Amino acid sequence: MEYHDSEKAKEVAGRVEEFMDEVVIPREREALATGEEITMDEIHEMWEMAKERDLFAPQVPAEYGGQGLDFSDMLPSFEQVGRSLIGALAIRANAPQEGNMHTLEMVGTEEQKEAYLRPLVQGELSSAFAMTEPKVGAGSDPKMLQSTAVKDGDEWVINGHKWWTSDGLDADFYLTMVRTDLDAHPYEGTSIILVPRDADGVDVVRNVPHLGGHGITEREGSHAEVKFDNVRVPVENTIGEEGEGFQIAQMRLGGGRLTHCMRYSGMAERSLDIAKAYLQEREAFGSKLEDKQALRHRIADAETQLHAARTMVRHAARELDRNDARIEVAMSKMFAANVTNETIDLAVQCCGGNGIGKDLPIAHFYESVREFRIVDGADEVHRRSIARWAFEDVDEAEIENTLQFDDDLRIDALDE
């Protein structure tokens, strides 16, 4: 398919594809076949190879060690890294590191960029984004944020309880969302504060057991539970302006949702490729499976849905360059999450026993993709946003002309 990506985007994505096919995927296959973990030393070697090929950290400005691609231009490369279980990690484009780099690059001070962004890009430091909390705290409704930071002189005193903090087990620092003005609405009284892991009072409780996890890397991404007990950090550790935590998080999450869409799209594409190869080889009931019309039609549907998802993401990315594109991003994220889930489920079904076995990567993909309908906004949250936009956009005079409800019922319907 021709998506009219820029020449730069296509050229870099082509080189990323070669790197995945020549270096990353062969090592992944070996690890799956032998059960031998891929060490961080090997990942560091891949980073050096990525640097030699001008592929390392494509999303980061060149002055900090990345390739400096525009947002739209980097999306095709993110799709290519999604084809491997370790693809994003192999070129330092993995979440949450990628999103935290973007946040620091957008709103960090020069001192913060030198102390944290530059070493983060180079892999000398690891980071985490601490926003989600156990009940009754922030989850799908982030306004329920319970964690706080109170000023004491030139320091913040932070107290809170976080979980699902991606890469939190090994993080050297946390970008932590906390209430800094309890008298203000959370949208106006929340800040993001950089908290070093070694600060007194930071307690990394555990890695929350979770669905998925391929176990082929030495340091697989964690989802940590972290407690902050009277943690003191300088006020200068505030990321961006005080009270603008929600605005900064939205800037971070908008682009992050689209990069996730492309990574999972690449995962779905490879799953589909494996399934088609299997159907072309496997014979049953007198002919090859690729000749069974029911399977052919389901593959055709999956190809169509993936094409639609890729097109939506690219459209949303173009709009994001011009404005906030909140609804376009919500639509893309919800649609891509469901399409990739359905596609990978189909791939497992097509491959039968081989699909649920872990000699192939699709069983790992199947476990990993289910979380995509929850992380970065659950389907229901995005549907709520889209529905509010849809109904607020309706002309009320048209409603009066076409609906015969009584006044009270009509008001209730609009409020809902």
Walking along the chain (416 residues) 10 residues at a time, the average pLDDT comes out as: 90 97 96 90 96 94 92 94 95 93 96 97 95 91 94 98 94 98 95 98 94 72 92 98 94 90 97 97 92 95 98 94 88 98 98 94 94 93 94 56 34 31
Output the pLDDT for position 219. Answer: 64
* CATH 1.20.140.10 in the chain, residue ranges: 246-377
Q: For 7-94, which CATH superfamily applies?
A: Acyl-CoA dehydrogenase/oxidase, N-terminal domain (1.10.540.10)
pTM for the whole thing? Answer: 0.88
CA–CA separation, 245 and 192 (whole Å): 5
> CA nearest 224: which of 197, 253, 256?
197
In this structure, which topology does domain 127-241 adopt according to CATH? Butyryl-CoA Dehydrogenase, subunit A; domain 2 (2.40.110)
Output the pLDDT for position 413. Answer: 31
DSSP assignment string, 79-139: HHHTTSTTHHHHTT--TTHHHHHHHHHHH--HHHIIIIIHHHHTTSS-EEEE---STTS-S
Mean pLDDT of the chain: 91
In this structure, which topology does domain 246-377 adopt according to CATH? Butyryl-CoA Dehydrogenase, subunit A; domain 3 (1.20.140)
Output the pLDDT for position 322. Answer: 82
* CATH 1.10.540.10 in the chain, residue ranges: 7-94
Output the pLDDT for position 340. Answer: 98
